[in-house]
Amino acid sequence: MHLADPPLHRVGVVVDTPQHSGLSGPLDYLCADALAPGTLVRVPLGRREVTGVVWPLDAAAAQALPEGQLRQVAEVLSGLPPLPAAWRALVGFAAGYYQRGLGEMALMVLPPELRELDDVQWQRRLRRLHKALAADPGSAADPEGPALTVQQAAALAALAQAGAQPCLLWGSTGSGKTEIYLRQSEQVLAAGRQVLIMVPEINLTPQLEARVAQRFPGRRIVSLHSGLTPAQRLRSWLMAHLGHADIVLGTRLSVFTPLLRPGLIVVDEEHDPSYKQQDGARYSARDLAVFRGRLEGVPVLLGSATPSLESWFNAMPVAEGGAGRYVRVAMPARVGDGAMPRVRVLDLSRAPKPPLGQAPPPLAQELLAAISERVERGEQSLVLLNRRGYAPVLHCSDCGWKSGCPHCSAWRVFHKVDRSLRCHHCGFTERVPRACPDCGNQDIAPVGRGTERLEEQLAEALPGARVGRIDADVTRHKGALEAQLASVHAGEVDVLVGTQMVAKGHDFRRITLVAAVNPDAALFASDFRAAERQFALLMQAAGRAGRDALVSGHSEMWVQTWHPTHALYQTLRSYDYAGFAAQQLKEREMAGLPPYASLAMLRAEGKTQEAVQAYLQAALAAVEPLAEALGGVALYPPVPTPVQRVANVERAQAMIECPQRPALQRFLAQAHPRWLALAQQHRRSGVIRWAVDVDPLSI
Ligand code: ADP
Ligand code: ZN
Ligand code: ZN
């Protein structure tokens, strides 16, 4: 080094390094300037140049190389203020808790476009943004909301009492939870702070955005979800980070949005499984929201009519056997005295049997009659079936051939619109064969029923009725869902067939009957959360009916079942969520399942089931002494996943259970490097990927 050269500073930078590299902490670089943690930089990594985030150097890190071997930071993205310490703390916690690399986590949660820009482009972006903001200064004057109901006023008072403690707002569908979110937001905005409101699905953001915009016309509202263009997403993120956005609305990824002046975090429909990421870093945005709230001293409001049992338990007072961590605020009644629809549990075993050799009708006669009555009265009905396509499988009655997927251990679904057989797991699609591919029989028949077939059958059974359908097939194209919803709202549909997609959130005014036609599968599923999810779905679906006080008096929720006495339906009859939860919690406690225990799932994928299982066996054997030393950590033998082969990849998993969360965390942290090393050894035998899923949602 030349004597006149200024001294170089050593800085830590986290970059997205692949899992198998074993590098997870910050890497050391040199830079002419001392850089503040949170600064974005471009650094050389191998032969590439990548975006990284400056991180405090880990003094004890063994990878600290002598200065002579370090490379220099290529560029500092100076236009952007450093990401706040709270953001780094959140990312650091998430990486540790969910067993992912720090750099992977940090870079994953930044807008993708941010990785592409150099400093010149950055400066240009920021100038453009500031120009747009100057043209639209916004306003801080918020108009008044509607007069509160007594119940809402009481809820707000309870929330005020709770201070910065997380709150669970347990309110029936239509009880006015959104209004509570808006009131809380109003206070926070008035204090000059920002609000983050999370919703489970992209589909629900435009609706909420419209409502929030209407309520706060002068405020700057941005949305953040994966449906935005990269440029839009970057813009929303920047607005939040720079403190220009007052309200940020987003899906799970928005939990990582840096906020300059955070004031409130709302998690709407907190029980929704969409808050858990299902691949890569499998984080729970709801749980991270609670962590973030504590970190930043900001209240967190979780809202649901059917809270997750974890949140319910957290909000249950210690005296009642709960954890007493959250404040529970209840709003049992609907706004305007609209009653919940009457529940009718229809016993299929008592329905008349179809003639021999004929399939049973899609709906029991009684139910069909009830729908027909509504069609005549000009009211709408919603028929729920959680299976899209025409039929789940085609079958040859001569030789027994079935429409299996050649790449997955699953049937291919028959879609009649384009006469295709589609695999819902890997996407493999072919035209329906004219005859059985095995024996040439011309008479291959659909077995079972999906929404497409139900729509067709209902149109036949209800002549004159306008039958519509909403599911992922109909709404694949942009704008299709909005168009279909609009036609329902405009009264152009009498009977709407749909999957769970329609059960969520939508505000249908003229629906007076909701029917779940095949809800039994969940009762006997191997997944211990299936009943909880089904109960939530049915409650939500019921919430779609009778939202208009004018029609709520004669609204009905029908359930067609072979098991009418099942506890799930019995508690549903009286919308007794608390009763359902109590009974589920008792089962969970006896079985040692969440929320009474913490789970992690070690998952692996590979070329053969043997290879994958061998890896998992070895992985468990390697950490058995560790589990014993820590105490309380139980390791379960590996099993194939419910759909064990997808796109020619075999999958298996092993469950790890521990009554204490911190002990499980310690165990995972120590087990991780061993699993990593073993996975490298097992690569040759055909193991492709492995991952730990902490607090897995589906098992
Ligand atoms: P939830 O989110 O609990 O399902 P919403 O917030 O959507 O309930 O409220 C249900 C309906 O009641 C909405 O149409 C909403 O505009 C209306 N509403 C909520 N609060 C009030 C109020 N205080 N006065 C009048 N209408 C209200
Ligand atoms: Zn055949
Ligand atoms: Zn497939």
- Which sequence spans correspond to the domains of the chain? 9-135, 150-336, 338-389+450-589, 391-448, 598-694
Our answer on whether the CB atom of 262 is closer than 6 Å to any ligand 1 atom is: no
CA atoms of 259 and 240, how far apart (whole Å)? 5
- Computed over every residue of the chain, the mean pLDDT equals 91
CA atoms of 412 and 113, how far apart (whole Å)? 37
Our answer on whether the CB atom of 540 is closer than 6 Å to any ligand 1 atom is: no
Task: Give the residue carrying structure tokens 């910050």.
Answer: 26
**Residue 430 banded pLDDT, cuts 50, 70, 90:** very high
Domain 598-694 belongs in CATH node 3.30.70.360 = yes
* HSE, side-chain direction, 13 A CA sphere, residue 165: 17
Question: What pLDDT was estimated at residue 187?
Answer: 95
Which residue has the CA at smallest separation from atom 10 of ligand 1?
Answer: 174
Per-residue pLDDT tens over the stretch 21-57: 556 788 899 999 889 999 999 999 989 999 999 999 8
Our answer on whether the CB atom of 268 is closer than 6 Å to any ligand 1 atom is: no
Atom of ligand 1 nearest to the CA of 305: 3
For residue 456, the SS3 value is helix
Question: What pLDDT was estimated at residue 552?
Answer: 58
Our answer on whether the CB atom of 184 is closer than 6 Å to any ligand 1 atom is: no
Q: Which CATH class is domain 338-389+450-589?
A: alpha beta
CB atoms within 10 A of CB 201: 16
For the chain, the first-to-last Cα distance in angstroms comes to 58
Domain 9-135 belongs in CATH node 3.40.1390.10 = no
Per-residue pLDDT tens over the stretch 569-607: 999 999 999 999 999 999 999 999 999 999 999 999 999
Which residue has the CA at smallest separation from atom 5 of ligand 1?
Answer: 176
Q: CATH classification of 150-336, choosing from 3.40.50.1260, 3.40.50.410, 3.30.1490.190, 3.40.50.300?
A: 3.40.50.300
Question: What pLDDT was estimated at residue 63?
Answer: 54
Pairing of strands 40-45, 48-55: antiparallel
Q: Which long-range contacts (CB under 8 A, 24 or more apart) does 200-204 make?
A: 200/251, 200/252, 200/268, 200/269, 200/272, 200/273, 200/274, 200/275, 200/504, 201/251, 201/272, 201/274, 201/504, 201/505, 202/226, 202/227, 202/251, 203/481, 203/501, 203/504, 203/505, 204/504, 204/505
Label residue 267 left, alpha or beta by phi (over 0 means left) and psi (-120 to 50 means alpha).
beta
Per-residue pLDDT tens over the stretch 359-398: 778 889 999 999 999 999 999 999 999 999 999 999 999 9
Per-residue pLDDT tens over the stretch 212-241: 999 999 999 999 998 899 999 999 999 999
β-partners of residue 498 are 384, 470
Atom of ligand 1 nearest to the CA of 172: 3
Per-residue pLDDT tens over the stretch 137-165: 777 777 888 999 999 999 999 999 998 89
Ligand with the closest atom to the CA of 407: 3
Hey, do 150-336 and 338-389+450-589 end up sharing a CATH topology, with the first three levels equal?
yes
Our answer on whether the CB atom of 171 is closer than 6 Å to any ligand 1 atom is: yes
Which has the closest alpha carbon to 24: 85, 83, 107, 117? 107
Our answer on whether the CB atom of 174 is closer than 6 Å to any ligand 1 atom is: yes
Ligand with the closest atom to the CA of 647: 3
What is the residue-wise DSSP string for 159-178? HHHHTTS-EEEEE-TTS-HH
Question: What pLDDT was estimated at residue 60?
Answer: 62
> Are the beta carbons of 91 and 105 closer than 8 angstroms?
yes
Question: What pLDDT was estimated at residue 553?
Answer: 72
Flag whether pLDDT at 126 surpasses 80.
yes
The tokens for 113 are 């476009």
Our answer on whether the CB atom of 175 is closer than 6 Å to any ligand 1 atom is: yes
Ligand with the closest atom to the CA of 397: 2
**Torsion angles phi and psi, residue 136, rounded to 5:** -130, 85
Percentage, residues of the chain above pLDDT 90: 74
What is the residue-wise DSSP string for 597-637? SEEEEEEEEESSHHHHHHHHHHHHHHHHHHHHHH-S-EEPP
**Torsion angles phi and psi, residue 333, rounded to 5:** -95, 150
Helix and strand numbers (H, E) in the chain are 19, 28
Contacts of residue 549, defined as CB under 8 A and 6 or more positions apart, other chains included, come to 336, 337, 338
